[in-house]
Amino acid sequence: MLLLDERILADGRHACTYATVIDDRVRIRDDNEELGDLSIAALDRVMVRYGKPLDLEVEVDDLGLAFTGGYRLRRLRYHAIVDATGRDYLVWERPDGEPLAAIGAMVTAALRYLVLRLSAERDSSLD
């Protein structure tokens, strides 16, 4: 399980979003609630949309999650010279391209939106 993001809710509680690998899909969950699954292609599209090439000098120690096809999602805590404090990034490694890094909160928000939207569409089609 990979921690994607930690945030503070309006009522002051802390909430975390996690990802796990289930077969050839990524499962997104908030604390104890499963939100849904996305394809590797969907995760790739989000990371390509928001990610920027990772500087080759930045080392990523986290093992992260390995997916079929040679993809890997990792978490990186990085303190850039221009930042007052470190930020959490997600790093997407692809077999056919350079690693991409994006701010974790931004990627997580997009992934949460996608799984919740897909879940709502599924539920409405059952009615």
In DSSP notation, 16-67 reads EEEEEEETTEEEEEETTEEEEEEEHHHHHHHHHHH-EEPPTT-------EEE
The Cα–Cα gap between 29 and 53 comes to 27
Q: Check if the beta carbon of residue 73 is closer than 8 Å to that of residue 26.
A: yes
Q: Check if the beta carbon of residue 80 is closer than 8 Å to that of residue 64.
A: no
Does residue 127 have a pLDDT over 70?
no
Q: Is 106 exposed, middle or buried (0-12, 13-18, 19+ CB in 10 A)?
A: middle
- How many structural domains does the chain have? 1
Confidence of residue 84 (pLDDT cuts 50, 70, 90): low
Kindly report the average pLDDT of the chain as a whole number.
89
Does residue 119 have a pLDDT over 70?
yes
The Cα–Cα gap between 48 and 42 comes to 10
Mean pLDDT of the region 93-107 = 94
Mean pLDDT of the region 11-15 = 90
Give the per-residue pLDDT at 33: 85
Give the per-residue pLDDT at 122: 78
Specify the pTM: 0.87
Mean pLDDT of the region 22-36 = 90
Give the per-residue pLDDT at 59: 86
What domain range includes position 53? 2-126
